[in-house]
Amino acid sequence: MNSTASPLRWIAAAALALATLAVVRGAQAEPPTVVAISARRFEFSPAEVTLERGQPVVLRLTSLDVTHGFYSKQLGLDELIEPGKVLEVPLTPGEAGRFTIICDHFCGAGHGNMKMVVVVK
């Protein structure tokens, strides 16, 4: 019997087991929270959402009437929400604070004040 190879085999086996466990646990990880946001002239609903810093979410965006913009330079959001379509946008907020998302696709007289707030804690 080779007394040097046996401990190495055990170490390799243990490492393989740990790696397998990590992959399985990864496959079973919680999917990101979905935050549903709808847009219609001239408001987003909900008007305010609260997210956790570093926690990935998926913003599920829909429009109830016309095309709306969904823009925030600080959050890196720049989308067009078209009626009849569902748009899923991943977001992982990098810093805490209070951020405004605006509609930047002109949608009528009340467009200038169409916005929502994201609070990141």
Task: Specify the residue, 10 or 106, whose C-beta has the smaller distance to another protein.
Answer: 106
List Cα–Cα distances, 11 to 2, 21, 23, 115, in angstroms: 15, 15, 19, 57
* Tokens matching residue 83: 């009626």
* Tokens matching residue 105: 């696709």
Interface contacts to another protein, rule CB under 8 A: 67, 69, 71, 73, 100, 102, 104-106, 108-109, 111-113, 115
Task: Specify the residue, 9 or 73, whose C-beta has the smaller distance to another protein.
Answer: 73
* Tokens matching residue 63: 């429009």
Question: Min. distance of Cβ 34 from another protein in angstroms?
Answer: 25
Q: What are the residues facing 63 on neighbouring strands? A: 39
Task: Specify the residue, 46 or 108, whose C-beta has the smaller distance to another protein.
Answer: 108
Question: Min. distance of Cβ 78 from another protein in angstroms?
Answer: 8
